[in-house]
Homo-oligomer: A and B are copies of this chain.
């Protein structure tokens, strides 16, 4: 192999390698950026929620209790599904279906 040919091969190799790294690196970065952005928004919402709690606290509400209420309301929504699920479960366990 001539010196020139060898050089070309090396370059070609490098290029390929770089391309491979680039495409996956690029892609990875893209995912990371999208995730970061959504995480940002999520964090923003968390802030907003915190602010509401703070505001409520400011007018005399007990934050901890409000949290409990929020949770209870969610439960009241989820609970139904949960209980239905449990019922189904037990029914199937006894061979009722």
Contact = CB atoms under 8 A, between A and B. Distances in A.
State the number of copies, please: 4
Contact of A28 (B53, B66, B68): B66
Interface in A45-95: 45-46, 48-49, 52-53, 55-56, 59, 61-62, 64-66, 68-70, 72-74, 83, 86-87, 89-94
A87 B73 contact: no
A13 interface: no
Interface residues of A, number: 45
Contacts of A29: 93-94
B52 A42 contact: no
Given A65-B86, A68-B87, A31 B52 contact: yes
